[in-house]
Structure 1
Amino acid sequence: MGDKANAQPGAAGRALTADRPADIRNVVLVGHSGAGKTTLVEALALTAGAVNRAGRVEDGGTVSDYDDIEHRQQRSVQLSLVPVEWGGVKINILDTPGYADFVGELRAGLRAADAALFVVSASDGVDGATRMVWDECAAVGMPRAIVVTHLEASRADYTQMAELCGATFGGDDPDAVIPLYLPLYGPPGADGHAPVHGLLGLLSRRVYDYTSGERRERDPEPAELDLIADARNRLIEGIIAESEDEGLMDRYLGGEDIDIKTLIDDLERAVARGTFHPVLMAAPAADGARQGLGTVELLELVTGGFPTPEERPAVDVTTPDGADRPAVTCDPAGPLVAEVVKTSSDPYVGRVSLVRVFSGTLRPDDTVHVSGHGLEDRGHEDHDVDERVGALSSPFGKNQRVLARAIAGDLACVAKLGRAETGDTLSAKDQPLLMRPWDMPEPLLPLAIRAHSKADEDKLSQGLSRLVAEDPTMRLEQNPDTHQVVLWCLGEAHQDVALERLRNRYGVQVDAIPHRVSLRETFGARATGRGRHVKQSGGHGQYAICEIEVEPLPPGSGIEFVDKVVGGAVPRQFIPSVEKGVRAQAAKGVTAGYPLVDVRITLVDGKAHSVDSSDAAFQTAGALALREAAADTRIHLLEPVAELSVMIPDEYVGPVMSDLSSRRGRVVGTEQAGPGRTLVRAEIPEIEIDRYAVDLRSVSHGTGRFSRSYARHEPMPPQVAERLRAEQEKAD
C-alpha cells in the first residue's frame, strides 16, 4: 500500500497471460459520469507500462479507443476491459459508464469483477446513484475501495471528501472507510490553489513524492510527521478493529508499537473480506511524466489487498433443463463454466463476446455448449446449442492481442460465437451447465421506430436482432394493437446510442415516431343499428339487411354476440356471417380506430334475398350496422392503467407523490422498504408515464427506481380523449 518496494511494471504491446488464478485480479471501476474513471484507467496503464508517455500502445491506438460513439458523445457508453500487469499479477480493469442509461454495462462489470474501485470527484462529491451501487456491493460482500480524483480542481478538498466518503459509505461504521494517505501540497499557484505533488504514507510514515514525474520515496520532515499523527492512529485502530487477531487491540491499547507488516497483512485481509474500505487518491501523469500521482499505491492495493478469483464464492450452476449440479470453484482443471458478460460487433470479425471464465480452461477451436439466459420477454431467445470457439484475444482499446487460453478467473474476448448473447453460459458440450442470470434493470422508456425507406425496411429486422443481442437491457416489441415496432430503453441517451448503432454499425436508417399506447373503445349507452347492403350490377347482386342492438358490458367482458332472430328473417347459414362482420369491425374500431371491447351485440332482425344474399354481403351488413349504432351514442375511449411501484429515498416521497398526482395517478399505499427508503404504490394511466423513466430520474436526483405492470383499461376523461383525437387527426 505504498509501503512495499516498487513492483516491476508489465511490458507494453504483448498479450498478458496468467498461469494460475492467484496471479489475476479483476476490478471494476464505479462512479458517476465525469468522475474520471477512464482517465484513471489511462493513468494506471501508463504507470504499469501498458502505454507509453504519449498514452499510446505499442501497436497503435490509445487505451481509450473504444467506440466511435463514445468519441462523438464524449462519454463512456459501454463496458471496456483494459488488462495491465503489476508485480507479476495480471489486473483486468473493467471501466464502466457512469451515466444511468448504461447501468446494464455496470451490472456486467460487477458480474465479471471480484472487487470494485469507487471513483469519486473531489470537486463534485458522491451522487445518489453511486451510493445505491455501493449498497448493492455491500449486500453481496464485494470488496471495495475509494479513489478520490480531480485533486487539481480549484475547489477540491481531499480531507473533506475523505470525511464525506466515511459518512456516506461507512454507514454505522465510518471507521471502516479511512484514508491510507494524506496529500502533500506544493506552493500555491497564481489562482491560490495549492497542487498535490506527493503522498504521506500513514502506516509507513514515509513521503512519496511525484514532483519529478516518477515516485520518489523519502523520510518525512518533522512538520510532516505532525500532520499524520492523528490520522495514523485512527487508521491503525480501524485496521486492528477488523483484525482476526483478537489480542491485537489489547496489545495496541497497552502501548505496544504494532509492526507495519502485521498491520499491512491485516489491512489486506480486511479489504479482501470486504469489511474495510481504504480511501486513496489519484491523478493523471503530467505531460512527459511516467507515473501519475497515487497510481503506484493504487496498483499495490489492487494486487495486495483485493481478492484473487480463487477467493470468490463458489458459483451455483444447473443443467439447462433445471437440474441442480454441484457449485463450481475457480479451478482451471475443473468443468468449463464461463459467462458472456458483453457482446459487441466488429466490422471485420463479426460478433465478439467478452467472457469471464469461472471454472475450467477455455481454448481456441474448442466446441462449447451455449445455454440460454431467460430473457425471452425482451426479445432474447433462449439458447441450447453447440458452437465452436474462434480465436481468443485480450483487448486493449481497439486492438486485440491473441491469447493461447483463458484459465479460470480470467477474462478474454471470444470470436465467432454466432449464437451466444450477453448472459449466456459457455460449458463443455458433453457436460452442459447453466449459471443463474444476473439481475438486469427493466427498460421502461419506449422508442417507436419505422424504417426510413424500403431499402431500410428490408434490413431492419436483422439490424434490430443484432442490436438486442448485444444489449440485454433493451427490449424489442412488435405491438399487435398499435402495429408499432418499439425499442424499450433505459433512457434518452440509451435511445440515442441505439439509433446511432442502427445507422452506423448496421446500415439501417430509421425514423423515431410518437409512441402510441393500446387504447380501446366501448359503448357508453345502449344503441341500435341497421346495416343495409343492397347492390344490383347485372348478374348476381348483393343483398343483406340486419338489425342489431348493442349494450355495454362490465370491464373485461370482451365481445359477446347473441342471436335473437325469429321467423328466419336472417337464414341460419348467414348468422355466423353477421357475427364475423361485426367482430371484424369491432377489431378495427368504430370511431377512432381502436378495438371495441366490453359490449354485447344482439342480432334481432334482418332480411335476405333468395338469390343475391351471400356470406360476404351479410359480413358487410353486420359491419355497417355496428358503425351506425356507434354513430347514435357516446363512445368512450378506454386507456390502459398501470400499477406502478416506485422505490425512492424517504426525502423524495413528497415530490414523487406530487408528481404522480399531476399525472392523474392515484396513490394506493406507501410502505417502508429498508433503511431510509420508501415504496410508493400507485395506479396511473399508461399514457401519462411514457417518459417516466426520465422524469423520475430528475425528480429523485437519479436515486429512484420503478416497475410497472398492466392493471386494466378504464374510461379516459372526455377532455383528454378529445385532445387525443385531435392529435391523432393531425398526425394522420
Structure 2
Amino acid sequence: MDVFRTDRIRNVVLLGHGGAGKTSLTEAMAYLSGITNRLGKVDDGNTVSDFDKEEIKRHFSISTSLVPIVWGKNKVNILDTPGYFDFVGEVEEAVSAAGAAIIVVSGKSGVQVGTQKAWDLCEKYKLPRMFFVTEMDVDDVSYRQVVEDLTELYGKKIAPIHFPIREDGKFVGYVNVVKQAGRRYVEKDKKTECPVPDYSQEYLDKYRETLMESVAEISEEFMDRYFGGEEFSIAEISAALKMNVCDGSIVPVCMGSTINLQGVSNLLDDICGYFPGPDQREVAGINKKNNEIYEANYDFAKAKTARVFKTIVDPFIGKYSLIKVCSGVIKSDDTLYNVEKDAEEKLNKLYVLEGNKPIEVPELHAGDIGAIGKANTLVTGDSLATKATPVVYGKPEISVPYTYKRYKAKNKGDVDKISQAFGKMMQEDLTMRVVNDSANRQTLLYGMGDQHLDIIQSKLKEQYRVEIELTKPKVPFRETIRKMSDVEGKYKKQSGGHGQYGHVKMKFEPSGDLETPFVFEQIVVGGAVPKNYFPAVEKGMQECVLKGPLAAYPVVGVKAILYDGSYHTVDSSEMAFKMATIMAFKKGFMDASPVLLEPIVSMKVTVPDRFTGDVMGDLNKRRGRVLGMNPDKNGNQVIEADVPMLSIYGYSTDLRSMTGGSGDFSYEFARYEQAPSDIQEKEIEARASHLTDSEDN
C-alpha cells in the first residue's frame, strides 16, 4: 500500500445499533475500492472485517476491525465496530482513534438505542459525523421517517444531502440536494442523470432550505445574500458544508443500499470531501522531561510520537499493537521509546491491517493508523516516542465490567493453560477481568454482559483448546455475633508419654468493627495462662475466623477476651492452647446470637425518564432501597439505590430487557448488613450440605 500524507488521510469509525449494517457497508466500500473482487456477506461469513471464528459463527461483529480504503487520492481508515452493547470496549477504543464517524441507521428498524449511544459517544469525543441510512432497496423503508426522528432528537443540525427516488415502491435513484439534481440507477451502482420527479420537489425544497440556512450562517455576507434571495454556487455550498460538518453544526444524512452498492461511492466522496483530515484536528500529551503540554496536533514535522489504541492477540496471526501516529513520521526500522514502561522497542516492520491481513508499509505519517507486530512490552494505552521527547498521551476511557460468573476448569490439569489464555485475552479485551476471590474459594470472570462471557468461554474452547464451566457465583456473606458469651475450652489428650493440655476461659462480644475479623485481648491475672501461650490463643482465633461455625463464611466484628484458664507444666503446648481456643470459639460464637451479614452495594442506574417507574419497581423487588433520583446532562435520570449483592445477579440482562438496551448501571461495595431471617435460614440450610466439601468451605 502507498504511503499517504497527513492531509490525505481520513480516520472514520462506523457506529450504530447491532444489525444496522456497518459490516455490510465496510464490505461494499472494500469492494468498490478494489480491495476485494467479490462482495462478501455477513450471513455467509466471508466479509473482510468479520474474520474471527466467533463472528463468522454468530453473524455479528465482536471486535473492531480496521480496513484501509484508497479512494481517489485519499486513504480512508475504516474502523468497523460491534453494535451489541456487550462489546462497547471495542467501540470506545475505536472512537478514541477516529477523526470522524458514520452513524449507520437501519432503514427497516429506524432510529434505535444504539443510534443514540453512538451520537453520545461522538459528542463525548467531539467527532464530526454523518448518518447513513441503509436498506433503501427494501420496499417499505421510509427514509423520511428516519430523517424526522433524527430531527426530533437532534434538531436543526440534521441535514439530508441525498434522498431516494421511488417508483412503485422500488428504490430507483436519488436526489442530490446540493446540486438539485436527480440520478437514476441503471445497473446496481451505475447511474445516469434524470430530472427531479414532481412528487420529490416538496422534499427537495424543504431539505435545501435547511442546508441554505446553515450556509448563510457562515458569515454576514452570506446572510445578506441569503435574505436577498441570492443563490449560492455549488462550490460555496460544499465549502460551507465542509466547515459546518467539521465543527459539528451540521450533520448530513445520506442513504443507499449496501447489497446493491448504491449510495456507497457517494458516501466515500462525502467522507473525503466533508470530513477533516488529521491535520485539522488537535491532539496533545505531556512531555515527561519537563511536564509541559506537548501539542502534537498530527504535525509530521514534529518529533515521532504515537499511542497504542488497541491490541490484537490471536493464536493464529499473532500479536499486533494498533497505533495512531500523533506526530512525526514513523519508519519500519525505527527504535521507539515506550514512555510507560521505560523500555525501547525496535520495530523491525510496520503494517497496515486489512481485516486480519497484515500489509507491510515502509512508514506511517502523522494521523495515520497502522500496526506493530510482536511488540512484547506494548499494551493498549501505551505511548511511543523518542527518548529526547518522551510524550505520554491519555489512555482510552473504557467501560467497567459489572456482570460476573464463577468459572472452573472442566479439566483440573488445564488450570495453567486457562490462566495463560486469559492473560492473552485480557491484553486484547480491556472489559474482561479475572478475579481470584480467595475468601470464598472461587475464581470470577467479569464481562459486559452474559453474551460477552459466553463468547469468552467459546473462544477459550475454539482458539485455546481449553474448557471452563460458568456458574452462579457465591455471594460473600460474613458471620458475626450480636450478644456476649462466656465459655471455656479444654483440650486434654493422654496417649502415653507427654500428653496435651490446654485450658482457656474466654468471653466473646461484638467489637463494633465489621471491617476487621477479630480483636484479641487478654486480661489474665496470676499467670493462670503463661504469657508464652498468648500467641497460640491468637493463632487459634486467626484460624477460626476464616470459616465461621454458622455457615462456614468468614467471621467479622468479634472481640475475644482471654481472662482465665490453666496449664500443665509438662503437657501444655502451643498446639494444645490453639486447640482449646478453637473449641472455645465454636461454642462461644454459637452462644452469642450469631447472624449472617450480607454485602450491600451502592448502585447507580442511568435510564431515560420514561423507564424510571419500571426500574424503581424492579429495585424494590430486589430488596433495594431507592435513595434518590437526579437528572444527568444527557436528559436521563440517575437512580441511586442500596441493593443486596445477592439480588443483582443477572441484572444486566434484566435492565436491558426493561429499557430496550438504553439503561446503564454501575455499583460498588458499600457495607455489610444483617440479612433478613428468611435469607439467613435459606443460606445456612444450603451451606450445611457443603460444610465438609473442601472446595466450598
2:674 alignment counterpart? 715
One-letter amino acid of the structure 2 residue matched with residue 263 of structure 1: I
Query: What SS does structure 2 have at the residue aligned with 1:481?
Result: helix
Query: What is aligned with 1:295?
Result: 264
Return the offset for 1:39.
0.5
Q: Is the 8 A contact 1:318 1:435 kept in 2?
A: no
Please state if 1:22 is matched with 2:3. no
Per mean C-alpha deviation after superposition, the further-off stretch among 404-413 and 694-703 is 694-703
Are the counterparts in 1 of residues 313 and 427 from structure 2 also a CA contact under 8 Å?
A: no
C-alpha displacement of 1:340: 1.6
Alpha-carbon distance between aligned partners in 1 of 2:409 and 2:428, rounded to the nearest angstrom: 21
Aligned to 2:157: 176
In the alignment, is the contact (CA less than 8 A) between 2:405 and 2:444 conserved in 1?
A: yes
1:330-409 to structure 2, matched below 5 A, reads: 330-372=298-340, 383-409=341-367
- What is the aligned partner in structure 2 of residue 200 from structure 1? 175
Give 1:228 deviation, angstroms. 4.9
Whether the 8 Å contact between 2:50 and 2:61 is mirrored in structure 1 is: no
Q: Say which of 420, 423, 426 aligns to 1:465.
A: 423
Question: Counterpart of 2:300 in structure 1: which amino acid?
Answer: P
C-alpha distance in 1 between matches for 2:303 and 2:263: 40
Secondary structure, in 3 states, of the residue corresponding to 2:279? Answer: helix
Equivalent in 295, 303, 308 of residue 277 of structure 2: 308
Partner of 1:43: 28
Does residue 263 of structure 1 match 2:263? no
Supply the AA of the counterpart residue of 1:564.
I
Q: Secondary structure at 1:345's aligned position in 2? A: strand
Q: Which runs of 4+ in 1 moved over 6 A?
A: none
Residue of structure 2 in register with 1:495 after alignment: 453
Which of 589, 594, 597 is residue 553 of structure 2 equivalent to?
Answer: 594
For the pair 1:215 / 2:209, whether they are aligned, the reply is: no
Distance 2:375 2:134 in 1: 39
Which stretch has the larger CA shift, 126-135 or 78-87? 126-135
Residue range with higher mean Cα deviation, 117-126 or 699-708: 699-708
Match of 2:576 among 617, 636, 646: 617
What does the per-residue CA deviation read over 1:14-42, in whole Å, with 9 as the maximum and x for residues that have no partner? x2531x10110010010000101101111
* Correspondence 1:483-562 to 2 at 5 A: 483-556=441-514, 558=516, 559-562=518-521
**Letter of the structure 1 residue corresponding to residue 264 of structure 2:** T
1:135 corresponds to which residue?
120
Q: 625-634 or 438-447: which moved more?
A: 625-634
Q: 1:657 to 1:318 in 2, by over 3 A?
A: farther
Q: Distance in 1 between matches of 2:482 and 2:544?
A: 18
Amino acid corresponding to residue 184 of structure 1 in structure 2: I
Query: Are the counterparts in 1 of residues 130 and 253 from structure 2 also a CA contact under 8 Å?
Result: yes
- Partners of 2:634 and 2:94 lie apart in 1 by 27
Residues 437 and 655 (structure 1), Cα distance of their counterparts in 2 relative to 1, 3 Å cut: same
Q: Is the 8 A contact 2:128 2:248 kept in 1?
A: yes
- Amino acid of the structure 1 residue aligned with 2:302: G
SS state at 2:110 partner: coil
How far apart are 1:284 and its partner, in Å?
2.0
SS at match of 1:669: strand
Retained in 1: the 8 A contact 2:431–2:447? yes
Match of 2:205 in 1: 230
* Letter of the 1:195 counterpart: K
CA distance in structure 2 between the partners assigned to 1:486 and 1:591 by the alignment? 25
Separation in structure 2 between the aligned mates of residue 222 and residue 33 of structure 1, nearest angstrom = 35
Q: How many residues matched?
A: 687
- Alpha-carbon deviation of 1:241? 4.2
- The DSSP-based 3-state class of the residue aligned with 1:106 is helix
In 2 relative to 1, CA 150–728 (structure 1 residues): closer, same or farther, beyond 3 Å?
Answer: farther
Which piece of structure 1 moves more, 338-347 or 612-621?
A: 338-347
Q: Which is worse superposed, 687-696 or 155-164? A: 687-696
Asked whether the 8 Å contact 1:671–1:678 carries over to 2, the reply is: yes
Query: Which of 385, 392, 411 is the matching residue for 2:369?
Result: 411
1:101 maps to 2:86: yes
**How far apart in 1 are the matches of 2:206 and 2:188?**
27
* SS, match of residue 186 in structure 2: coil
- Greater displacement, 614-623 / 673-682: 673-682
In 1, the alpha carbon distance for the partners of 2:292 and 2:580 equals: 61
Partner amino acid, structure 2, of 1:236: L
Mapped partners of 1:228, 1:647: distance in 2: 38
8 Å CA contact 1:16–1:394 kept in 2: the answer is no
Q: Is 1:694 aligned to 2:653, yes or no?
A: yes
- Give me the TM-score of the superposition, normalised by structure 1: 0.90
Task: State the alpha-carbon separation in 1 of the partners of residues 634 and 312 from structure 2.
Answer: 39
Picking from 624, 629, 637, the partner of 1:665 is 624
Partner of 1:570: 529
Q: After superposition, what is the alpha-carbon deviation per residue over 1:564-616, rounded to whole angstroms, capped at 9, x for unaligned? A: 22332212211221121122211222221111111211112222111111011
Question: Secondary structure of 1:211's partner?
Answer: strand
Question: Could you say which residue in structure 1 is the equivalent of 2:601?
Answer: 642
Distance 2:598 2:137 in 1: 54
SS of the residue 1:719 aligns to: helix
User: Following TM superposition, by how much is the alpha carbon of 1:461 offset from its aligned partner in structure 2, in angstroms?
Assistant: 2.3
AA in 2 matched with 1:387: E
The residue type equivalent to 1:486 in the other structure is L
Contact 2:180 2:204 in 1 (8 A): no
Cα separation, partners in 2 of 1:235 and 1:570, compared to 1, 3 Å: same
**8 Å contact kept, 1:349–1:416:** no
Gap change, CA 1:146 and 1:503, over 3 Å in 2 = same
8 A Cα contact 1:123 1:150, kept in partner: yes
Cα pair distance change 1:183/1:730, threshold 3 Å: farther
- 8 Å Cα contact 1:242/1:275 also seen in 2: no
Q: Secondary structure at the match of 1:588?
A: coil
Tell whether the 8 Å contact from 1:16 to 1:84 is kept in structure 2 after alignment: no
Letter in 2 for 1:207: G
Residues 447 and 366 from structure 1, CA distance in 2 versus in 1: closer, same or farther, beyond 3 angstroms?
Answer: farther
Mapped contact 1:61–1:398 kept (Cα < 8 A): no
Shift of 1:547: 1.8
- Paired residues of 1:390 and 1:416 also in contact (CA < 8 A): no
CA contact (8 A) 1:522 1:636 kept: yes
Cα shift at 1:224: 6.4
SS at match of 1:293: coil
CA contact (8 A) 2:161 2:254 kept: yes
Partner of 1:4 in structure 2? none
Gaps of 5+ in 2: none
2:380 is aligned to 422
Other-structure match for 2:215:
240
1:115 aligns with 2:100: yes
Listed one character per residue, the Cα deviations across residues 113-162 of structure 1 (whole Å, up to 9, x for unaligned) are 10010001111122234313313322443101000012233431111111
Q: Which moved more, 1:33-42 or 1:253-262?
A: 253-262
| 8 Å CA contact 1:581, 1:619 repeated in 2 | yes
- 2:432 corresponds to 1:474: yes
**Counterpart position of 1:82:** 67
Cα distance change, pair 62–118 in 1 and its aligned pair in 2 (3 A): closer
Judge which range, 485-494 or 428-437, deviates more.
Answer: 428-437
- Please list the CA deviations of residues 235-263 of structure 1 after superposition, one character each: whole Å capped at 9, or x if unmatched: 432332442x2221221221212211111
Q: Does 1:684 align with 2:643?
A: yes
Measure the CA separation in 1 of the matches of 2:196 and 2:491. 105
**Residue 327 (structure 1) shift:** 2.0
Task: Give the Cα–Cα distance (whole angstroms) in 2 for the partners of residues 581 and 322 of structure 1.
Answer: 55
Listed one character per residue, the Cα deviations across residues 301-350 of structure 1 (whole Å, up to 9, x for unaligned) are 1000000001112323342x993332212122322221222211233552
> Displacement, 1:412?
0.8
1:444 paired residue among 368, 387, 402: 402
